[in-house]
Amino acid sequence: MFIQLKTYDGQHYVSADGGGGGGVNAIRTWPAQWETFRLVAAQGAELRSGVPVNIVTADGMHFLCAEGGGDREVVANRTVPSIWETFLIERVDGVADIASGCQVHFRVHDGHYICAEGAGGREVVANRSAAAQWETFTVTVLPAESLFPMRINGQSRLSRGKWVSADATLTRDGRLHTELHVWTRNESYGFHGACGVLVVDEANAVLWRSELHTLGVDGTWIPGKPSSRTSSYEEVVPTEIMAKMAAVRLLLVENPRNMLSHDLDEAVAVGKKIVDVGKVVAGIFALF
């Protein structure tokens, strides 16, 4: 289920900076992508009041986390959920269903509660030992239609001097457009970077995966070879998958290939062509 969380002052929303990967605050007064989260019952349980949940950010790759398990700040920089990223959701009125308009508390691993300081407009922490107004959030459940077009983007430094970024957009009718950018700052050697898009269900199980799109680049000192490349790809997610999907996730990896061997092969091929041309020219001159 996709949700937005309004703070007790009724004017601010919980927000993950950058859509995930950084800090968490409650300073935004208008909900958009960074203020949209996916609420998932942990360990495949039914989503209702009183069960452990994980909260996934808009980029589909990060989880809200109470640092230290509690009594510290709340961040959104973890890519795998564990105990610090698991919260007990408690509906204030005691009703089991999680629905639009209901008020909830989130209890973290060490028993503290998540709090929007000042009831909103400031930072989000997990250092309160009891739940009161500042620890109360109003849930808005978003209809599936409002989530499209669904966009996800990310950038990764795979290793020294090797970078990959991608931007993927999925429309309601299943059209997937992906743009991949691969570049290197290494001088003498390149690499192959790749991206893939995963479509997952509410339990984060992969329902469908795109092709692993790959681009190769060479070192910045290699003449005539690009050290930065961009390409785009079009795919279609099957209708039956779209009916079951909950989110998309982005995979950014290195797709190993020996670039030196590749370049040598190309050089040898060019060399053979030059030799062949030389033979032809020599044959022509032999006629005179």
Q: Which two tokens stand for residue 221?
A: 């000192």
Which whole number is the average pLDDT over 117-139? 98
Quote the mean pLDDT of the chain: 89
| Whether residue 238 has a cis bond before it, omega within 30° of 0 | no
What pLDDT, on a 0 to 100 scale, did the predictor assign at position 269?
56
Q: What's this model's pTM, rounded to 2 decimal places?
A: 0.68
Model confidence pLDDT, tens digit, residues 64-108: 999 999 999 999 999 999 999 999 999 999 999 999 999 999 999
Model confidence pLDDT, tens digit, residues 262-287: 555 555 555 554 444 444 444 433 44
By CB atoms closer than 10 A (0-12, 13-18, 19+), residue 65 is buried
Cα separation, 63 vs 232, in Å, equals 28
Task: Give kind and range of the element (H or E) at residue 269.
Answer: helix 259-286
**The pairing of beta strand 191-200 with beta strand 63-66:** unpaired
What pLDDT, on a 0 to 100 scale, did the predictor assign at position 262?
53
Distant-in-sequence, close-in-space partners of 80: CB < 8 Å, separation ≥ 6: 63
Model confidence pLDDT, tens digit, residues 7-60: 999 999 999 998 899 999 999 999 988 999 999 998 777 899 999 999 999 888
Each domain of the chain, given as residue ranges in start order, spans 2-145, 148-263
What pLDDT, on a 0 to 100 scale, did the predictor assign at position 280?
42
Cα separation, 151 vs 58, in Å, equals 9
pLDDT surpassing 60 at residue 177: yes
pLDDT surpassing 80 at residue 145: no
Provide the CATH number for the domain formed by 148-263 in this structure: 2.60.40
CATH topology of domain 2-145: Trefoil (Acidic Fibroblast Growth Factor, subunit A) (2.80.10)
